[in-house]
Amino acid sequence: MEEFANLPTTPVSDGLGGKNHMDIGIKPLSDHWHVYGRAFTVDAPAGENISVLEGMYNAKPGDVLVVDGKGATGNALAGDFVIGLAQSLGLHGVVIDGVIRDISDIRELDYPVFTRGATTAASKKTKEGNINVPVTVGGVEVNPGDIVVGDVDGVVIVPADQADEVAEKAQARIEKDEKREADYGGSSEKAREYIENFLRNNKK
């Protein structure tokens, strides 16, 4: 898991061939937040948070709680108190396909929360969902134990059986980008050289 601790989402996405990125509506509440960890999944009825709490209770420290809230925006699936519980339990972060509330207080926690936004309406507590089951969040299938990586660019899911391969490809992409910057960055002459080479090799 530590291979993903400092990897941005963009090279991870490249390592996945541009696949498995969640809908762009799911973003961190603060731009500097980065999250990584194994997915502990929750299939929650829209606006209902009984199973969200159940998931938090059963997840392990270092996990990322990934909640399929059906993209519903009418009721918050969590507020600052519930998010604070996840932080106290040692979870690395929370990803919700739905909305939360108490944004200002959650930002003060400085704890990674990725969501579609906020509403003033509290969670409902009338229906139970399921935990630790395959879910679809932001258009991406997430299985328990898959690896979650998120930052200001969005959230990507790495299937557990591809973790080593994707981490290796992501690191290679970072090294390639660093070399490209060293070779072509910093001057208009180098910028023109890069564009000329690119067009020569790619333009039909």
Is residue 82 marked as binding?
yes
Is 51 within the bounds of a domain? yes
CATH number, domain with residue 82: 3.50.30.40
| Residue 188 within any structural domain of the chain | no
Residue 69 known to bind ligand: no
Q: Does residue 115 fall inside a structural domain? A: yes
Domain for residue 149, yes or no? yes
Inside any domain, residue 25: yes
79 in a labelled binding site: yes
191 within domain boundaries:
no
- Average pLDDT of the segment spanning 161-177: 95
80 is in an annotated binding site: yes
Asked if residue 43 lies in contact with residue 68, where contact means CB atoms within 8 angstroms, the answer is yes
Residue 48 belongs to a domain: yes
What is the total count of domains within the chain? 1
Q: Is 133 annotated as a binding residue?
A: no
Averaged pLDDT for residues 121-130: 93
pLDDT confidence of residue 27: 97
| 3-state class (DSSP) for residue 202 | helix
Distance CA 104, CA 106 (A): 5
158 is in an annotated binding site: no
Domain that holds residue 99: 2-165
Determine the Cα–Cα distance for residues 84 and 123; give it in Å rounded to an integer. Answer: 16
Residue 185's pLDDT is what? Answer: 79
pTM here? 0.92
The residue among 28, 43, 91, 87 whose CA lies nearest residue 65 is 91
pLDDT band at 184 (very low <50, low <70, confident <90, very high): confident
**Confidence grade of residue 203 (pLDDT, cut at 50, 70, 90):** confident
The phi and psi torsions of 21 (rounded to 5 degrees) equal -100, 135
Does 175 map to a domain?
no
pLDDT digits (tens, 9 = 90+) for 41-94: 999 999 899 999 999 999 999 999 999 999 999 999 999 999 999 999 999 999
Of the listed ranges 30-34, 114-118, 193-197, the least confidently predicted one is 193-197
Sign of CA dihedral 177, 179, 184, 187: positive
Q: Residue 128: count other Cβ atoms within 10 Å of its Cβ.
A: 13
Q: Residue 1 above 90 pLDDT? A: no
